[in-house]
Amino acid sequence: MIYTFKGNFGTLLLTVDTDGKARGTYQKNGVLEGDWSENSFSGEWTNQGMEGLVRFTVSDGKLEGNWKKGKDVGAMKGRWKGDLLSKEDDSETTKVVEETTSVANTPAEHPLKAKIEELYDAEDYASVITLFSENETELSENEDIVHKYLFSMWFHGDLEEETFEKIRGFEDKFETNRWLKLKGFYYSRKKWYDSALEAFKDTSERHYLLTKKKFDDYYTLHEEEKYSEVVKYFESELRSSISSKTFKVAEIYCQALYMDSDTERKALEKIRTFRERYPEHQPFTKLNGRFANYIGGKDLNLELIEEGLACFKEIKDERNIAKTKELIGETKSKIKAQTQDEKAAARERAAAEKKAAREAEAARKRADKKAVAAAKLLQHRFKNSRGLRFCQFCGREQQWATETCEIRGAGHNFVLLKERYSGELTPTCNKCGQEYNWAGDTCE
């Protein structure tokens, strides 16, 4: 029986005798010898001066197995994978197979390449990086080895930037986009989800759907009118994912800002930025005009409304141009009326201030007059009568002049009169008849 396989080992032509002995050839000088039983091969390989062990099984047209260098018993970490191309029951047939381009998994095509394969399968990525770097001139000519080297850098971690730069260099060298999926991982790490979506579109359905969900969740929040959550989501996840295919993301963000009166000014600032960055995208210009018109109309800011008019003229939006011109006219009327109201209010304030000043001055004068009167009430008024000098209001003699006249307000008018019983001249009120010793009482 003659089997023909093709896989990461190249093309293998394996002849199996009726006694179970098998011999095969692969690549230019590769030879297999061993035993075949129940669709499984176990034997040895030799190729370009090297040798080792190999085992594989064929099931459902697929070949899977392992190999190692050297014939000592040990783990076989190298992998053989391929497909059954044909099966012929003719021991006399000689089949010529054209050699195909070998790949890095070939057990002994080259010792360095074989070692790279072994290390990569063992997930020893640090050693893959080291071995490749030490022999880059030779190994960088093999695209499959480069592929393992690049993924080793990524899986190793902390080499994302270096990996991306290497990818770009090898893409140019081999004129391929084979590492588009790996670039998608890099874009996702940077939160450049717009680029990641494009990278995964034809390379990984799973990662494409995961990345797409980033955008779908965002759109759902907007549809549910959860504007504050839209803003938070954009600023934490999607702010670096704006490109020609994701302009809608930026539009939704600015609209969400605009819906909150506390952030409508921020909405105008952000849409200005997007418009400046992408002047060819007319929806940004239209939103700029819309936001400027609303805020300008609300704040009676003609400069903002003129900005809105310029935006609509730029995109030739005749309907909004006409509406903006009407808004300008209305705003000018409001500004004029507001100015008149402000002037009237200013006049009223001035009149009120003058009135308040006059009243304050009158109050001050009254207070001063009261103070003078109060002070006067504390003063004696002395008069002379028959050689005696006494106060008209309290009846005390001049010797008490240093003290205040505390009863002046009682209303007495003391004159010198003879006392009823003694006949002595004594200051006596000529209105109530009380002598000065009783002057503390009100004159009644």
Segment of 88-92, 121-125, 258-262, 265-269 carrying the highest mean pLDDT: 265-269
DSSP string, 295-348: HHHHHT-HHHHHHHHHHHHHTT-HHHHHHHHHHHHHHHHHHHHHHHHHHHHHHH
SS3 282: helix
Look at the pTM and tell me if it is higher than 0.75: no
- Give the residue, 403 or 247, on which the prediction is more confident: 247
Residue 72 has pLDDT above 90, yes or no: no
Q: What is the mean pLDDT of residues 100-124?
A: 69
- pLDDT of 182 above 90: yes
> For residue 312, what pLDDT band results from cuts at 50, 70 and 90?
very high
Q: How many Å apart are CA 237 and CA 67, to the nearest integer?
A: 46
The residue assigned the tokens 């997007």 is: 274
Kindly report the average pLDDT of the chain as a whole number: 88
Rounded-to-integer distance, Cα 318 and Cα 443, Å: 95
* 44 within 8 A of 51, measured Cβ to Cβ: yes
Phi-psi region of 392 (alpha: psi -120 to 50; beta: other; left: phi over 0): alpha
pLDDT given at position 402: 66
Please name which of 54, 153, 155 lies closest in space to residue 105, comparing C-alpha atoms: 54
Angle, CA 80 vertex, CA 74 and CA 86 arms, to 5°: 135
Highest mean pLDDT among 98-112, 155-169, 280-294: 280-294
Predicted pLDDT at 435? 78
pLDDT of residue 274: 97
Nearest to 268 by CA among 241, 308, 326: 308
Beta bridge partners of residue 53, listed in sequence order: 44, 68
Supply the pLDDT for residue 28. Answer: 67
Q: How far is CA 436 from the centre of its chain?
A: 94
What sign does the CA torsion over 282, 286, 292, 295 have? negative
Please state, as a whole number, how many other Cβ atoms lie within 10 Å of the Cβ of residue 139. 20
pLDDT classification of 366: cutoffs 50, 70, 90: very high
Nearest alpha-carbon partner for 444 in 411, 400, 416: 411
**What ranges in 157-190 are assigned the alpha helix state H?**
160-174, 180-189
70 confidence band (pLDDT: 50, 70, 90): confident
pLDDT for residue 401: 63
What SS3 state is found at 86? strand
Quick one: three-class SS letters along 380-439?
CCEEEECCEEEECCCCCEHHHCCCCCCCHHHCCCEEEEECCCCCCEEEEECCCCCEHHHC
pLDDT tens for residues 194-240?
A: 999 999 999 999 999 999 999 999 999 999 999 999 999 999 999 99
Query: Which DSSP symbol is given to 157?
Result: S
